[in-house]
Chain A
Amino acid sequence: MSDYVANIDYLIIFLYLVMLVSIGIYSYKRDSSYEEFILAGRGMTTPMLISTMVSTYYGLDILFGSSEMAFNDGLMAFFGYALSTLVFYLFIAFYMADKLRSSNFISLPEILEKAYGRKTSSIGAVSSMVYCLPTTSLFALGRVSEFVFGIDAHYGAFILGGIALVYTLLGGLKAVAITDTIQFSLMCITVAVGVPLLVYEVGGFISIQQNVPTGHFKLFGTVPPWLLIAYASSSLAVLIDPSLYQRIFAARNARQARNAILTSTVIWTTFDWLVVAGGIAALAAVTSGILSSDVHPNDAFLIAVTYALPIGLSGIFLAGVLATAMSTIDGYTLVAGSNISYDMYRPLIKPDATDAELVKVTKIGVVLAWTLGYVVAFQFDRIMALLIFVTTVITSTVFVPVLMALFHRGRKTVLAGLLSCGAGLASVLIFYISMSQIGDYNELWGTYIFSFSVGGYEFSIWQEYALFFCLPISLLGFFIGNIFGNKIEKAPLDGEMT
């Protein structure tokens, strides 16, 4: 048990967990159709949409990743990393939400299926599933369990992640959306109270500036520029985030989807800032001796805010932290499950599958995705490394074909989709395997770096630069496929999205 957590806090956390399972049981409907289960019958209200968008995207990986980055590099975590994501959300709201919602899709790979056929959509479904595996959230949930309950990370992730699995299986997107709304409120209120209290506790930003390195208050920090661009580029994944797409498809109409994304973007911005401010304040708390010097950067935010909050409120904060992880696990696991059922089982194994069969296979897929995520979760040492890998996989695979399907009005061929998806995915795997063979592991940055010199100039390629190579390969694949493939006489999307 943690020194910072009182019995009343444990009681609050326990009540919160009981409530989550109760919601799953309440939302359980024996004969729900596939669309009801996976898209809540396309009838989600704006508050529910906003809550589920914000809480699903904002997982512990982001909470810990951003605060860890702020702890190590300062303001760069907000200006160099978080803000780029928010710009892409604005793009989705103004240019993509309408196209996506009005076409009545069910999943992201279905866009590929309609534009390029089943082979391309199958590759897209695999990369979407990899992206949606709850690896980072389960990993982080384990870390939180160690801190809060003093239990082994593996058991903590299993028990708490298991609760998210149970209510997702019982109630589908409806249960996910209801729990997300409660989790969203908990997250917002506790972070809004906790961070200002922490900043006050360490003496405000004047004191913080005196206790952290000066580089922490440079807008783009002291991080190598290419790494900064690599972090910002990973935000491109937002444009093809399967979970965000699912929320857009579940909206009552396109206008509601756009408004929900715009509101969510403002909330994300404030949330991001508070987490970054908390990360920097946590470093000041360590350097000024308020907190122990052996605090790990990953845990610093959690420990510092819990320290700053009074008894009772820290219980609500920790429930909010658990909520942050569980709302991501449920949302993404459900999408991964639907990738298995709707995007792999239906087109490849049983095209005439009934609704009941699809719901059943989705539930099996949810369990499978959760189990895979759990197994992979503890194979990585750093959250950011894992996060960059999965975003690179999905961006290199489906970014080009999906955006071309939505925006490119000219010639499109089946081969273009297939080559773009296939070459993108293959290049990521080859890049990562090659870097682990020829690169040197850098302890400081926790990544592989390949250094070489040409004409007296020194160059370094980091593992995080994968997207710089793989995304152009995917684009090249699209153009080559477009030249040599047979033109699709009437691309289904062209007609539907006008």
Chain B
Amino acid sequence: MIGWDLFTILCAIFLGSSGFILFYVFLRDAYRDRVEKIKRQTTTRNM
């Protein structure tokens, strides 16, 4: 293994984990927004 191999592996680890993390955060935010929206709708209806 030489420097270029190592660089390639490091880049792959960074890129792959970025993909996972951002997708997870996106889903989490979307879920929170949805819960928030439902809560707001319920509150408005009760009023």
Minimal beta-carbon separation of A301 from chain B (angstroms): 14
A residues within 8 A CB of B13?
A: 192
Within the complex, the shortest CB–CB distance from A88 to chain B, in Å, comes to 21
A273 x B8 contact (CB < 8 A) = yes
Instruction: Please give the distance in Å from A423's CB to the nearest CB on chain B.
Output: 42
For residue B5, which residues in chain A have a CB less than 8 angstroms away from its CB?
A: 199, 204-205
Given the contacts A181-B23, A184-B19, A184-B22, A270 and B1 also touching, CB distance less than 8 Å: no
Contact A45 B15 (CB under 8 A): no
- B47 contacts partner chain A, Cβ-Cβ < 8 Å: no
Residues of A within 8 A of B20 (CB): 185, 189
Q: What are the residues of chain A within 8 A of B38 when measuring CB–CB?
A: none
Q: How far is the CA of A416 from the CA of B20 in the complex (A)?
A: 48
* Contact B22–A51 (Cβ < 8 Å): yes
User: In whole angstroms, how far apart are the Cα atoms of A380 and B9 in the complex?
Assistant: 36
A181 adjacent to B19 (CB under 8 Å): no
Determine whether B36 belongs to the interface, using a CB cutoff of 8 Å to chain A. no
Question: Could you tell me which residues of chain B, from 1 to 15, have a CB within 8 Å of some CB in chain A?
Answer: 1-2, 4-5, 7-9, 11-15
* Contact A206-B14, Cβ < 8 Å, known A181-B26, A192-B19, A273-B8: no
What string of 1s and 0s marks CB contacts (under 8 Å) between B7-35 and chain A?
Answer: 11101111110111011011001000000
Main secondary structure of the interface of A (DSSP, over half): helix
A-B interface contact total, Cβ < 8 Å:
79
Alpha-carbon distance A271/B8, docked complex (angstroms): 10
Q: Contact between A267 and B12 (Cβ–Cβ < 8 Å)?
A: no
Smallest CB gap from A269: residue in B: B11
The reply to whether A47 and B15 form a contact with Cβ atoms under 8 Å apart is no
Nearest CB in chain B: distance from A282 CB, A = 14
A193 partner residues in chain B, CB cutoff 8 A? 12, 16
Give chain A residues whose Cβ lies under 8 Å from the Cβ of B14. 266-267, 270
Q: How many Å from the CB of A23 to the closest CB on chain B?
A: 11
Instruction: Give the residues in chain A near B15, CB-CB below 8 Å.
Output: 188, 191-192, 267, 270-271, 274
Q: Which 7 A-B pairs have the closest CB atoms?
A: A188-B19, A192-B16, A185-B23, A270-B11, A205-B4, A192-B12, A185-B19
Besides A188-B16, A208-B4, 16 more A-B contacts (Cβ < 8 Å) are A48-B26, A51-B22, A181-B26, A182-B23, A188-B15, A188-B18, A192-B13, A196-B9, A199-B8, A206-B2, A267-B14, A269-B11, A270-B18, A273-B8, A274-B11, A277-B4
